[in-house]
Amino acid sequence: MGFSSDNIGVEGADLDAAFGDYIGALSPAMGGYCVREAGLHDYCTGLLLDVSRKSVEPIAAQIAPEHVSAKHQSLLHFVGQSQWCGNRLLAAVCAQVLPKVESREKICAWIIDDTGFVKKGVHSVGVGRQYCGQVGKKENCQIAVSLSVATHDFSLPVAFQLYLPKDWAEDDDRRTKAGVPETIEFLTKPRIALQQLRNAKEQGISPGVVLADPAYGADTQFRTEITKMGLEYAVGVRSDVSIWPSGTSFAVPANYRGQGRPSKILKPVEEAWSGEPATGKKKKAVCPLSVKQFAQGLEPHDWHTITWREGSNTALTSRFARARIMIAHQHHKQKQPRPPEWLLIEWPEGEDAPTKYWLSSLSEQTGLKELVDTVKLRWRIERDYLELKQEVGLNHYEGRSWRGFHHHVSLCIAAYGFLICQQAAISPSGPTKAQIIKQFALSKVPQKPTTTRKRAKA
């Protein structure tokens, strides 16, 4: 039986009907099992209720107050043990939500990042003492890598995978207890991200510029693989990344002494730095600059004040400079210089040194304002994490297994997708997700009579 999604995105009294149509459109991802479809409906309903805690027990108490124990057990089985595929559910969410988003604006960014889940114990899958961005320091936590696709007004996570630290990946006993699949091996976060990018391409999601912070962007292989996929990137890098200014000349060393094979490796020569040709057979070699050194050598006229969007209280503005450069990473092993790309630098007024650096493979015709607008769009994934945790309980899961964690995440994204559908159908400046949740909760709770009884006359 097919389901219509025509009502997805309406408001007011039809919100409950819209939710029913939306869940109906996702139900085929449950493999045709009516018990799983009921679990999908009930769990997502609980995630969208206006309650403070959205783990299994509170959800059961809200949606089945007269049968809490039975509903608790059925939802525990559904999220922690039932053998449905979380990635298949995410694909169904994409099929429902992205057309609504793209009807307003073309997808312009694919954003990579990771988020932490602080834990008390040591038994939750993948938990360990590692850097957690949520608290800004090393903490006992789980880390998950995700990919969001974004426009300027909306963004949706389309992939989400737990990072399994090496000590976990090599511990057969802990893997077995947590139900980690045999196919899961240790992968660095950038390698997990690259898998997610490849899967998104294979899924046929509209492409966008890949955005990431320096934890990913500083990895030369990460950027190289993105280019091989036919995607463009604009990623953060650290201040010590080494570069050559665009136009640096390279030549094979001429001082061969007749021992061994002559070198075929191109090396930079002095003329690119002095502006004059080097004389004689032996050209003087030069060293690359760090992006920080390069930025500090720029002239005052190279810096421009750019406003990229309106913040909650004021316009977001800073100083930026850009230049065409070539990456010098392991240049002594390269037979050809790397292709030119953009270096974008942010140096806010009043700061002693530049604060942020980005590398971008966007075309040479890209303007400065477009570059700034692109790299600053990465804030959308931070908004995703915040709203997923605050509004639909992404960080409320209390189970310990690999399957349970990923099932809960995919269900949270399904609930989040419904909220995005509502916003996209109305207006980006319309109701917030929190307001839609309050309205949805009212549609699920019987309303008290509004009439008042007349007092009897004395």
Total Cβ atoms within 10 A of residue 324: 12
Q: How far, in Å, CA of 137 to CA of 211, rounded?
A: 23
Q: What is the DSSP string of 270-284?
A: THHHHSSPPPSSSPP
Asked if residues 431 and 15 have their Cβ atoms less than 8 Å apart, the reply is no
Q: What is the DSSP string of 230-248?
A: T--EEEEE-TT-EEEETT-
Asked if residues 343 and 358 have their Cβ atoms less than 8 Å apart, the reply is yes
Q: Considering only CA atoms, which of 433, 410, 426 is closest in space to residue 94?
A: 410
Q: How far, in Å, CA of 205 to CA of 147, rounded?
A: 12
Q: How far, in Å, CA of 220 to CA of 310, rounded?
A: 33
Residue ranges in the chain whose pLDDT is less than 70: 1-13, 247, 249-286, 330-337, 428, 444-458
Q: Are strands 356-360 and 242-245 parallel, antiparallel or unpaired?
A: unpaired
pLDDT the model gives residue 252 = 57
The amino acid at 209: V
The amino acid at 394: L
User: Token pair 């665009």 is at which residue?
Assistant: 246
Q: How far, in Å, CA of 393 to CA of 52, rounded?
A: 9
Q: How far, in Å, CA of 354 to CA of 292, rounded?
A: 7
How many residues are present in the chain? Answer: 458
Q: What is the DSSP string of 194-222?
A: HHHHHHHHHHTPPP-EEEE-HHHHT-HHH
H-run or E-run covering 161: strand 155-162
- Residue-wise pLDDT tens digits, 411-434: 999 999 999 999 888 776 778 888
Q: 286: which residues sit within 8 A by CB, 6+ positions away? A: 268, 269, 270, 272, 273
- Residue-wise pLDDT tens digits, 55-72: 999 999 999 999 999 999
Asked if residues 163 and 145 have their Cβ atoms less than 8 Å apart, the reply is yes
CA 393, chain centre distance (Å):
18
Report the DSSP beta bridge partners of residue 148: 111, 157
Q: How far, in Å, CA of 458 to CA of 443, rounded?
A: 40
User: CA 181, 183, 189 angle in degrees (round to 5)?
Assistant: 95
Asked if residues 158 and 90 have their Cβ atoms less than 8 Å apart, the reply is yes
Return the structure tokens found at 109.
């960014």
pLDDT the model gives residue 135 = 84
Total Cβ atoms within 10 A of residue 142: 23
| Domain extent listing, the chain | 12-233+380-444, 240-353
pLDDT the model gives residue 448 = 40
Asked if residues 169 and 185 have their Cβ atoms less than 8 Å apart, the reply is yes
Residue 331 has what DSSP assignment?
Answer: G
